[in-house]
Amino acid sequence: MKELVLASHNQGKLKELQALLGQQINIRSIGEFTSIEAEETGLSFIENAILKARYAAKISGLPALADDSGLAVDYLGGAPGIYSARYADGQGDAANNAKLLKALEGVASSQRTAQFVCVLALVQHADDPLPIICEGLWQGQILQAAKGEHGFGYDPLFWVPETQCSSAELTPEQKNQLSHRARAMQLLKKRLAL
């Protein structure tokens, strides 16, 4: 496999995954083939990743990689979870972050544990009966206020204990060594023998 399509229009995610995968495989965006997103009707990260991968493979005719990822906050019962990107009704990262801070208002730091979750699903074709599934978890805590300028999504609110800073304070290189996506991609690379 020399090329695959990523089932996402998110350029930040495309750039991050290409850096993690390396140059052996070229990743193209589903945006080259359609502006329509796959319907995420699953109730888990795994279900949604498979749905998106199958859709991208069908539209593009290429092997497809889908990433379904999000933030699961323990105090909130795993929310925003699979709804992370549209937590604030699709109003974007700033609105999502504001809603999360509001939901955790007054909650002690010790109860603000969370993990970024990434599930990668790779299908060779739309009807692939054996998708490759790889999961990565990144443990941390939700800060009281945003810190840092890098990254996207909930990165400014996600405290990384091993580096003693927020995810948004890490360089892209550091993040690509530690993140949930990095962990899932390491598993995928092993599965693909890259």
Q: Are strands 113-123 and 64-73 parallel, antiparallel or unpaired?
A: antiparallel
Q: Is the peptide bond before 80 cis (omega within 30 degrees of 0)?
A: yes
Write out the two tokens for 153.
């999504």
Residue with the two structure tokens 């105090």: 75
Q: What does the alpha-carbon distance between residue 118 and residue 121 come to, in Å, rounded to a whole number?
A: 10
Q: Is 74 a known active-site residue? A: no
Sign of CA dihedral 50, 53, 58, 63: negative
Write out the two tokens for 60.
């593009």
* Set 67, 68, 74, 155: catalytic member: 68
* Closest-CA residue to 146 (of 123, 118, 165): 165
Q: Are strands 165-166 and 26-29 parallel, antiparallel or unpaired?
A: unpaired
Write out the two tokens for 91.
């109003």
Write out the two tokens for 170.
């890490």
Given its phi and psi angles, is residue 163 left (phi above 0), alpha (psi -120 to 50 degrees) or beta? alpha
Residues serving a catalytic function are 68
